[in-house]
Amino acid sequence: MLRQYDESEAWRAWDDLRARLAPTGVLIEGTCDEIGRRAVWVTLTKDGPQTITFAAHLRSLERPSVLAERLPKTLIHRNVPGEPVHALLTAFDRCWAMAAPHSAFGPRARWVEAVSLLAQTHPVLTRPPFGGRNRWRLGEVTLPWAAVAPYSR
């Protein structure tokens, strides 16, 4: 629903939703493609956005940056050079290319290797419940929101 908003309206909607959360409440806001093969979601608490997760059906994934189409409205227009989300997706594509030899073991092995490489330069969450190889094997990777937060609001 928020994808239909202007960016400033989406930020206001997040603020309104967060204001209604219980002190320990968490809201998940995100979107996926029509058949659920590409998804991005953000966890929100009273304190603001906390994490962002990128998820893909690995057998049909061309490259990680195609997930940009599923960014939340607060980021979708920020996927331009000079913004953190663009830098992250560019780096992820580079890691995906470097992990190409792992394709011989299947797309899951390539994804896990690409995420491992990405974790060397970006703050990929590596421990449960959000991170680690078990989540990566499912085609997910989660980072702190700060890794993609726009420079200005």
Distances (CA, A) of 14 to 25, 30, 95, 127, 150: 14, 12, 32, 27, 15
The tally of domains found in the chain comes to: 1
pLDDT score recorded for residue 5: 79
- Report the alpha-carbon distance of residue 126 to residue 94 in Å, rounded: 20
pLDDT score recorded for residue 152: 76
pLDDT tens, N- to C-terminus, the chain (153 residues): 666 778 889 999 999 999 999 999 999 999 999 999 999 999 999 999 999 999 999 999 999 999 999 999 999 999 999 999 999 999 999 999 999 999 999 999 999 999 999 999 999 999 988 889 999 999 999 999 999 999 876
- Helix intervals (H) in 23-103: 73-76, 84-98
Range of the domain at 120: 2-146
Query: Do the domain assignments include residue 67?
Result: yes
Structure token digits, residue 76: 């979708």
Query: Do the domain assignments include residue 153?
Result: no
Query: Do the domain assignments include residue 152?
Result: no
- Report the alpha-carbon distance of residue 9 to residue 16 in Å, rounded: 10
Which pTM does this prediction carry?
0.95
Structure token digits, residue 97: 């290319």
